Amino acid sequence: MKDKLEKSKYKYLLDLNSISEVFKEEIVKYSIVELKYINNIIYKFTIKYQSTSQIIYYIKKNDDYDFNRVKKLMALLSQKEKQKLHIFNTKDSELIASQSVTGIELINSMSISNIKLIALKLSKFHNYPLNYFSKYLNQHNANIKEIRFIAKRDTIEIIEKHNKKIANKLLDLYQKIIEIENDVLAKNKHYLIHGDLHPGNIVIYKNKAHFIDYKNICSGLKERDVATILEQIYALKKQGKISTDNKKIEKFQETFLNSYKNKLDPNLILFYKSWISWRNALYCFMKFYNNRVNNYRYEDALLFLKNSEKYLKEYKELI
């Protein structure tokens, strides 16, 4: 990965003196957390930096969104949440440089008390005035189409090259889901939603919950965020990333729903559980066929696909 960056226009990001100037303190170490490219053109990366004071910083690039928009959105959120979100300027407007949020990711601190904190935090987040943020939302993330088309590529077509039967199932389900989603989005009130609220994007620090990764914040239905939390906790268990039993997972999900303070439509939660399960299936199939690593097992992807079909059938029976 390092070789790719060293041969690109971003090679200065690997120079500790240059980066020390960006963060206004001495940077002593870096690691390339993520690097993705198409046809040898880099479209996404994350670099992690450590300072002499042990503070962690990140510089990220992703061609899927506008960092200038994200910076402005984060500034508004910092006002509402009464906490400073540390953002730094680089010479490239397509990059975002930020200080790491202090705390432990939920995936490593799963407990009943922390689940309650998250539910209360999300209740408050959904009540922020939507029009206050309207100029800086990522409306490309407003429906499932954004999930299917990543970096201008049709992920279903990519999967079809490996498994046509699976691709056809994904496409059939996608068409059913997007038709329903267009309908429910037209008929229901929209809220400020995070848009990608999995446990890796939630940090716990001093009995407070903090959300990170603001690029997907958009207007939508609050049930989408709620369903995402419920299903992503389940998915992490199935993938072996949370070591607890099924009863504890069910307790986490029940606690979250009981602790969330705003009114929810259970039918919409069911629909968005189908939505997020489809996304999990697509993601796992993509990772399995691209990398064939143990973290993305074919059987996990199949399970998520079956769950999506099951939830959608249950939803249709109820409406």
Reduce the DSSP state of residue 249 to 3 states and report it: helix
Pair 277, 158 in one domain? yes
Helix (H) or strand (E) holding 193: strand 191-193
pLDDT tens by residue, 66-117: 778 888 888 898 888 877 778 888 888 788 898 888 888 888 889 999 999 9
CA dist 305 and 219 (Å) reads 26
pLDDT tens by residue, 198-248: 988 999 988 989 998 888 899 999 999 999 999 999 888 877 777 777 888
Q: Which residues of 28-64 are buried (b: 16+ CB within 10 A; e: fewer)?
A: eebeeeebbeeeeebbbbebbbebeeeeebebbbbeb
Reduce the DSSP state of residue 192 to 3 states and report it: strand
Q: How many domains is the chain built from? A: 2
Residue finishing a domain among 82, 99, 116: 99
CA dist 110 and 104 (Å) reads 10
Say whether pLDDT at 137 is over 60: yes
CA neighbor of 215 nearest in space, from 50, 91, 62, 53: 62
Pair 149, 226 in one domain? yes
**What CATH number is associated with residue 272?**
3.90.1200.10
Pair 90, 32 in one domain? yes
Say whether pLDDT at 292 is over 60: no
Residue finishing a domain among 41, 69, 99: 99
User: By 3-state DSSP, what share of the chain in percent is helix, strand and coil, each rounded to 5?
Assistant: 55, 20, 25
pLDDT tens by residue, 244-263: 778 889 999 999 999 999 99
Name the average pLDDT for the chain. Answer: 90
* pLDDT score for 170: 97
Tally of residues, the chain = 319
CA dist 33 and 48 (Å) reads 6
